Structure formats: structure tokens, C-alpha cells
Amino acid sequence: MLTDSHCHLYLNGLADDLEAVLERAMENGVTRLICVGIDLATSLSCLELSESYSGVFAAAGIHPHEAGDVPDNYLHRLEELLRHPKMVAVGEIGLDYYRNRSDPAVQKKIFQAQIELARSLNKPIIFHNRNADRDVISVLKESNAGRGVAHCFSSDLNTAQAFIDLGFYISFAGNLTFKNSSLSEVARALPLESILIETDAPFLSPAPFRGKRNEPARARRVAEALAEIRGRPFEEVAESTNRNTETLFALPVT
Ligand SMILES: [Zn+2]
Ligand SMILES: [Zn+2]
């Protein structure tokens, strides 16, 4: 059994096709999914999907791309959403200095405010980090951020270790399967107790589906790649990543 710790079921047609998408996930042993918001509207969509499907859990947050465009009362509105029993985390939040769609200073401010919200509600965070290793680490340290996960990890081993030392899990997505990726060295070196898997669907389809629309069923492919990289049986990796996800997000024990 597997849990896709990060997907966006409301994007790029996944929602139109949802029954079939969830059925294929089940067929591949992906019985639970965490649907992660990127702004207020999509966080509400995640919540609604979690009410309709027992295996779907939700997270609410403002993505760094959207940080420049939040209403004044966004924290209050997030808090209302996060009181729902199927809301398991604040996310996705973070810093993205690759696309820089929002001003970095604004990104930082919104990231910090949401970490504080997560702390006050005693929820883990799901953070996005692109080309912002140093600032993400310093924000996490300064805000005493507690627990959560570095989603779609794509930095180096030292950064992974810094996140783990701060109490965070590392989540690998389909880019783990790409040829010439140095991520396999990171995935080999880390303790299995610190690793989650995800698809980030509809983005980042693993090989051999690279470039196609991704979906939660392919979390299986990520788990298979992780097992191959570590030279361990698939079942062991599946069991461990599933339990880690369960522990972090306080999912019902299966
Ligand atoms: Zn992301
Ligand atoms: Zn995402």
C-alpha cells in the first residue's frame, strides 16, 4: 500500500477524469493521496475532494507563486479551512527563486506567516523550495518551524541533511527516475525513516512517461525507483514510506 504525499487533483484535467484517475491509483496500490492547495480557491477544492473520497486528504496554503496576490484576510481564511478534520497540513508554502513570480521579500513574509499558522494549529507544513536552499533553511530555523516535509526534493545531500536535522522529511517525486539525475545519490544516502514519496501530479511524470500528464497511480513508479536505488525489496520501501507519511500527517492507521 502506498500514499501519494503530494498531488494537485484540481489541475490540468485531473478533476474531469477523477473517478478513473482514482481507480488507476487504487489498482496500483496507491490507496491514499494528499491533495495540496496553491491558493485559497484550490485549498477549498482540496477540502471538497477530501469530503467526497475517503482516501483523499487535504492541505491548504499559499504557494510562493501566488504570494504576491493574497487578500488581506488570507490567514484567517486558511485557518477556517484548516479546522476541517481531513485537513492534514499547511501547504504548499515555501520559496521559489527559479521563477520568481512573486517578489522574494513577499514570498518570505507569506512563508513565515503560514509557518506560524501551522505552529498555532499544530499542523505539519509541506514546503516547496526551488533555488532557495539557503533562505528556506534560515526561515525554517528562525521560525522554529517544527515538522513537515520538503516536497519534490531536488537539492543536494547537504541540504537534505540540513532539513532532516531540523526535523523534516524528504519527499521524492518522479524526477528521481530521470536519467543523469544526481538525486539517486541523495536517495541512497538518506535514512529510509526520513523519506516520503509523491507524484506532484499533474506535473513531473516519472520515466518512461516523462512529459505526459502525471497522476497519483505513478507514485508506484517512484517507490519502485527508490527500491531499485537502495537495493531493497519494493515492499519494504512501500511500507516504510507509507508509515512515514501516516506518522507525519497523523493519517488514520491502516
Ligand atoms: Zn511545489
Ligand atoms: Zn505541488
Q: Specify the pLDDT at position 102.
A: 87
DSSP-based three-state secondary structure for 115: helix
pLDDT per residue over 160-175, tens digit each?
999 999 999 999 999 9
Grid cell 545519490 is found at: 185
Kindly give the distance from the C-alpha atom of residue 185 to the centroid of ligand 2, in angstroms, as a whole number: 23
Query: What spacing in Å lies between the alpha carbon of 64 and ligand 1's midpoint?
Result: 9
Closest ligand to C-alpha of residue 151 is 1
Report CA(27)–ligand 2 centroid distance (Å): 23
Ligand 2 center from residue 6 Cα (angstroms):
6
pTM equals 0.97
CB contact at 8 A, 61 and 41: no
Is the pLDDT at 96 greater than 80, yes or no? yes
Between the CA of 200 and the centroid of ligand 2 the distance, in Å, is: 5
Q: Superfamily for 2-249?
A: Metal-dependent hydrolases (3.20.20.140)
Q: Which of 232, 150, 240 is nearest to 192 (CA)?
A: 240
Span 9-45, pLDDT tens digits: 999 779 889 999 999 999 999 999 999 999 999 999 9
d(CA 147, CA 19): 32
Q: In angstroms, what is the span from residue 126 Cα to ligand 1's centroid? A: 9
Judge whether 215 and 21 are in contact, CB under 8 Å: yes
CB 171 within 8 A of CB 152: yes
Do the beta carbons of residue 227 and residue 234 sit within 8 Å?
Answer: yes
Q: Closest-lying ligand to the alpha carbon of 38?
A: 2
Which 3 state secondary structure label does DSSP give 90? Answer: strand
CA of 136 to the centre of ligand 2 (A): 16
Ligand at shortest distance from the CA of 95:
1
DSSP 3-state of 5? strand
3-state secondary structure 151-220: CCCCCCHHHHHHHHHCCEEEEECHHHHCCCCCHHHHHHHCCHHHEEECCCECCCCCCCCCCCCCCHHHHH
Domain ranges in the chain are 2-249
C-alpha of residue 209 to centroid of ligand 1, in Å: 19
CA of 36 to the centre of ligand 1 (A): 9
DSSP 69: G
In contact, 134 and 108? CB cutoff 8 Å: no
pLDDT tens-digit profile of 102-132? Answer: 899 999 999 999 999 999 999 999 999 999 9
DSSP code of 15? Answer: G
E-assigned strand segments in the chain: 2-7, 30-36, 56-60, 87-96, 125-130, 148-150, 168-172, 195-197
Q: What protein residues have CB closer than 5 angstroms to ion ligand 2?
A: 200
pLDDT at 110 (0 to 100): 98
Burial (CB < 10 A; 0-12, 13-18, 19+), residue 34, is buried
Is the model's pLDDT at 75 over the cut of 90?
Answer: yes
pLDDT in the model for residue 254: 73
End-to-end distance of the chain based on CA atoms, in angstroms? 9
Tens of pLDDT, residues 174-223: 999 998 789 999 999 999 999 999 999 999 898 888 888 999 999 999 99
How many angstroms does the Cα of residue 103 sit away from the middle of ligand 2? 19
Taking the centre of ligand 1 as the mean of its atom positions, its distance from the CA of residue 46, in whole angstroms, is 15
Structure confidence at residue 207 (pLDDT): 87
For residues 45 and 141, what is the distance between their CA atoms, to the nearest angstrom? 31
